[in-house]
């Protein structure tokens, strides 16, 4: 029987690639995001290419009421969620704090930290009740390192790392796995969002090197969820071969 995975932020990038790979590997999917037309397209293409069933939820993870309403509307036949992937997230802006844009900070903190907590609070009680489940949080190399102009984003991803470890301790008595993946540079819509739609700046990020692709992270998530019951991968740090730290690249 197919298990159920819930993926936040499945309209593009890592979330979308993870939806596709989990559908090919025995999961039915609850997919969430704000751009409903992209969710609908993804759902159609997954259901054409695989046996997976897909349930869509259209909400903004920053909005607690909308998040509660959407997640509490999950029909009973979809409620036995085995895997939660807290992927929805973003970086906005690249400024020092002394020139910071408060709205950018709020978007990052509200999405990457508070949104992840909201979704986890609503979904994890049913995992506690059945004493099973796996929560995977998408953190970042920015959750391990620091770089100038990235204080707020690095702060949110350090928070994700802390939340992951603390939740792992809290959920230990219930046999629930909690893991994080911390990628370096992945070529998704991430840079377009960070540079507020400036495609030239976004494309420059990936010039002269080979970044990771969303598929690389999705394959690692599949590996994590496929480990035997007694194995929890606490964290994977995954970098492009052309990147050695948040600040060291090999460009040709």
Please list the active-site residues: 153
Centre a 10 Å sphere on the Cβ of residue 66 and count the other Cβ atoms it contains: 16
* Nearer CB in complex with ligand NDP: 51/103: 103
Task: Mention every residue, 6+ apart, whose C-beta is less than 8 A from residue 82.
Answer: 3, 4, 5, 132, 133, 134
Among 120, 140, 164, 220, binds ligand 8X3 (CB under 6 A): 140
Q: How far apart are CA 179 and CA 165, in angstroms?
A: 8
**Region near ligand 8X3 per CB under 6 A, out of 46-54, 110-118, 127-135, 139-147:** 139-147
* Nearer CB in complex with ligand NDP: 133/183: 183
Confirm or reject binding of residue 141 to ligand 8X3 (CB under 6 A). Answer: yes
Task: Show contacts with ligand 8X3 in window 147-186 (CB under 6 A).
Answer: 150, 153, 184-185
| Structure-derived torsion over alpha carbons of residues 73, 162, 158, 128, reported in degrees to the nearest 10 | -20
The residue with tokens 């759902």 is 43
* Nearer CB in complex with ligand 8X3: 11/140: 140
Rounded to the nearest whole angstrom, what is the least distance from the CB of residue 150 to ligand 8X3 in the complex?
6
Task: Show contacts with ligand 8X3 in window 229-248 (CB under 6 A).
Answer: 246
What is the binding site for ligand NDP (CB under 6 A)?
Answer: 8-15, 33-35, 60-62, 87-90, 111, 138, 140, 183, 185-186, 188-190, 193, 214
Among 119, 142, 159, 214, binds ligand 8X3 (CB under 6 A): 142
**Region near ligand 8X3 per CB under 6 A, out of 36-44, 52-60, 65-73, 135-143:** 135-143
Of these partners, ligand NDP, ligand 8X3, none, which one is at the site of residue 193 (CB under 5 to 8 Å by kind)?
ligand NDP
Of these partners, ligand NDP, ligand 8X3, none, which one is at the site of residue 246 (CB under 5 to 8 Å by kind)?
ligand 8X3
List residues binding ligand 8X3 (CB under 6 A): 140-142, 150, 153, 184-185, 246
């Amino acid at each position: 029987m197919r298990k159920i995975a819930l993926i936040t932020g499945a309209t593009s990038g890592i979330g979308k690639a993870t939806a596709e790979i989990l559908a090919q590997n025995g999961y039915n999917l609850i997919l969430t995001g704000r751009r409903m037309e992209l969710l609908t397209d993804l759902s159609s293409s997954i259901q054409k290419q695989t046996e997976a069933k897909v349930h869509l939820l259209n909400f903004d993870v920053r909005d607690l009421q909308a998040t509660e309403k959407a997640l509490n509307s999950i029909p009973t036949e979809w409620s036995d969620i085995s895997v939660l992937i807290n992927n929805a997230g973003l970086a906005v802006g690249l400024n020092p704090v002394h020139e910071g844009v408060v709205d950018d900070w709020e978007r990052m903190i509200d999405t990457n930290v508070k949104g992840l907590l909201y979704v986890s609070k609503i979904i994890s009680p049913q995992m506690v009740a059945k004493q099973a489940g796996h929560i995977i949080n998408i953190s970042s190399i920015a959750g391990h390192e620091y770089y100038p102009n990235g204080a707020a984003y690095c702060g949110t991803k350090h928070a994700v790392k802390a939340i992951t470890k603390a939740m792992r301790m809290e959920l230990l008595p219930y046999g629930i796995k909690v893991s994080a993946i911390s990628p370096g540079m992945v070529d998704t819509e991430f840079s377009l969002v960070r540079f507020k739609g400036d495609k030239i700046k976004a494309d420059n990020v990936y010039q002269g090197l080979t970044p990771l692709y969303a598929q690389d992270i999705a394959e690692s998530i599949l590996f994590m969820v496929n480990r035997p019951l007694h194995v929890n991968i606490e964290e994977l740090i995954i970098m492009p071969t052309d990147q050695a730290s948040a600040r060291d690249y090999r460009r040709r």
